[in-house]
């Protein structure tokens, strides 16, 4: 598996991110959607990676710097052809490895509370993330779940 940082101009990356954006907007109520579009991912507080196997995109993910030592997972997406094959775990492992290189000691993530987001919640819990209160700019929202992990 190889990772490429910030390659937003790649058509496969664009397609994956656009699908991610459209799908999450469709399953989240207005005001409870926290997905970033490509312009949002280009913010200088965010590092983004696409992950590849045999020149085929398998997924992507990003880290947002919140404060010293604290980062947030953003835009974790598994390509459709790679679902239910452990790809989500590969993405999380990659992001954790990169977070440690960047001196992040605490990771947090927001995900949806609905059935659509059940696999994501299960994956975060598998990695030891525990439920927490809203962090950064987030507010209490019945449509959101918040998790944190000390590295």
According to DSSP, residue 80 is labeled: G
Contacts for 91 with CB less than 8 Å, ≥ 6 apart: 51, 59, 60, 61, 76, 78
- Is the overall model pTM greater than 0.85, yes or no? yes
Distance between CA atoms of 88 and 76, rounded to whole angstroms?
Answer: 8
Q: Domain 2-150 adopts which CATH fold?
A: Aminopeptidase (3.40.630)
Asked whether the predicted pLDDT for residue 46 surpasses 90, the reply is yes
Q: Give the 3-state secondary structure of 86-129.
A: CHHHHHHHHHHHHHHHCCCCEEEEEEECCHHHHHHHHHHHHCCC
Lowest mean pLDDT among 34-38, 74-78, 139-143: 34-38
Q: What is the pLDDT of residues 9-26, one digit of tens each?
A: 999 999 999 999 999 989
pLDDT of residue 84: 93
Q: Which backbone phi and psi does 118 adopt, to 5 degrees?
A: -55, -45
Mean pLDDT of the chain: 96
pLDDT of residue 40: 95
Q: What is the pLDDT of residues 87-131, one digit of tens each?
A: 999 999 999 999 999 999 999 999 999 999 999 999 999 999 999
Q: Which two tokens stand for residue 139?
A: 């507010």
Residue 74 neighbours by CB distance under 10 Å: 22
pLDDT of residue 145: 98
Residue 51 neighbours by CB distance under 10 Å: 21
Asked whether the predicted pLDDT for residue 29 surpasses 90, the reply is no
Asked whether the predicted pLDDT for residue 33 surpasses 90, the reply is no
- Specify the 3-state DSSP secondary structure of 133: coil
**Torsion of Cα atoms, 50 then 24 then 44 then 122, to 10°:** -70
């Amino acid at each position: 598996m190889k990772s490429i940082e910030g390659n937003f101009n790649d058509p496969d990356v664009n397609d994956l991110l656009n699908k991610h954006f459209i799908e999450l907007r469709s399953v989240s109520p207005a005001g409870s959607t926290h997905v970033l579009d490509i312009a949002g991912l280009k913010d200088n507080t965010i590092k983004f990676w696409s992950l590849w196997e045999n020149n085929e995109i398998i997924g992507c993910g990003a880290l947002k710097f919140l404060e010293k030592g604290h980062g947030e997972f953003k835009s974790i997406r598994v390509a459709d052809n790679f679902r239910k094959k452990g790809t989500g775990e590969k993405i999380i492992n990659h992001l954790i490895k990169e977070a440690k290189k960047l001196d992040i000691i605490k990771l947090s993530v927001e995900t949806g509370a609905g059935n659509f987001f059940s696999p994501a919640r299960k994956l975060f819990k598998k990695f030891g993330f525990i439920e927490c209160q809203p962090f950064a700019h987030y507010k209490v929202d019945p449509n959101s779940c918040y998790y944190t992990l000390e590295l």
